[in-house]
Amino acid sequence: MMSFRQGLLVTTRNLYTSTCTMAPTVALDNMNPCIKKMEYAVRGPLVIRATAIEKELQEGVKKPFDRVIKANIGDAHAMGNKPITFIRQVLALITHPPLLDTDQFPEDAKSRARAILAGCKGGSVGSYSDSPGLEGIRRHVAEYIMERDGGLESDWRNIILCAGASEGIRGCLKLLTGPGTGKRPGVMIPIPQYPLYSASLAEYNMDQVGYYLDEARNWALDLEALERSYQAAKETSDIKAIVVINPGNPTGQVLTRENLEAVIQFAADKKLFVFADEVYQQNVYAEGSAFHSFKKVMMEMGAPYNGLEVASFMTCSKGYMGECGIRGGYAEVVNMDPEVMAMLQKSISAKLCPTVIGQACMDVVVNPPQPGDPSHESWSGEVSATLASYADRARLVADTLNSIEGISCNTVQGAMYAFPCISLPEKALTAAKEAGQPADVFYASHLLEATGICIIPGSGFGQQPGTLHFRTTILPQKEMINEMLGRLKEFHMKFLAEYA
């Protein structure tokens, strides 16, 4: 006699192997159209093809190259950049507390780990935290911000820890999707922009109101462009917010204080909520460039600007850390209506809590070894070496691209990317049109197939009509960057000759 368990297994297996042609409940023609509309270029078709080529190489398929170089995304560790030792020591200790009883770890790493575990229910990072994160870590974040901003107050209760900055950004964006005035809510975003914003706005059925950065001024923010974009969209969109990415992604610029003051005045005049995307604040390389936090500048400007509603974002995925897969970050939300803040807290509670290991990683970033601590010298050495290496690679990438005919690249002042402009022959533009592809996609696709280099076309980020660009990261190790740039130059010259 067949047992109930055996019968259940057979039934389940038959369900999965059934040839029944019953129509699916959820199909392309009745699913959420906003999901179909959204696009995320840095993980788009070119990246999928690059992964397929990697598998082909593993299977012995012959190519004119022996490895794929994925320059499409700011994934530091995937590109061979090493983790910071102290961060990993603390993470090792909190995930396996018996290590605290060994002599294999420095005492300052142990003290950080004990403090984190003391804030966890049951003394384990496997337990849930409060929805906005562990209180002790939120307090450390507020102290970090106060020190960064020269002593300006930061209230720990305004700190929300999140699984990477992206989650915090999307959580705040959702607050703006309300019924409004009958028009769809709109958000002003820089063009070029990081596709998180365009994708999220599409998903939430919100309007993208793009404002062009000025490439001729190293991608500076242009007040006249802001005003033009606002005026062009205000009749059809209920414009509620503006996004400022500083340092810039994909453009690699670092905004001057004057630029920030201008956008603060604009946001105050238009009564806009501000998203200050500052995840690359530690990645500043160019001489004369400096990071100015949005909050600090607006507070120093005084009334009425210090009353702007602002959410600023930071992550452990960028900077010198590069801990992308750990998924740690924070948002500091200032001047938000208390009742709306309560709704934000309620919204994030539906996700229970951000990963506690990600919270712990963020804690080490904002509460690093201090002078006199056993790990301070090694920490400082590793951090300085990492950022110096990034600066060297930023110069190398921009200088090399500028040496190639038909390519021009602004100084990479900060962040992790270059966004060069490319000039292609008319025959190449015609061939792209015949292939049904934007010209920069046509170029990037041919580059991938010929060299194994995966870049992202500028059309995935937005660009001035009539211009073509691509984004490449500066993160590959020096040897790989030289190899990548050599392959790129050789391909580019052949491409120009083919379509001359």
Dump pLDDT digits (tens) for 100-138: 999 999 999 999 999 999 999 999 989 888 888 999 999
> What are the start-end ranges of the H helices in 191-276?
195-203, 223-233, 257-270
For 417, the token pair is 């990317």
pLDDT tens-digit readout, 338-397: 998 888 888 887 778 889 999 999 999 999 999 999 999 999 999 999 999 999 999 999
pLDDT recorded at residue 431: 94
Strands 273-277 and 310-315: parallel
Burial of 216 (0-12, 13-18, 19+ CB in 10 A): exposed
Strands 207-212 and 184-191: parallel
Task: Give the DSSP letter of residue 41.
Answer: G
pLDDT above 50 for 3: no
pLDDT-based confidence at 11, cuts 50/70/90?
very low
Q: How far, in Å, CA of 150 to CA of 438, rounded? A: 47
pLDDT-based confidence at 291, cuts 50/70/90?
very high
pLDDT tens-digit readout, 77-89: 988 889 999 999 9
Q: How far, in Å, CA of 180 to CA of 61, rounded? A: 56
Average pLDDT, the chain: 89
More confident residue, 244 or 72: 244
Sign of CA dihedral 286, 288, 290, 292: negative
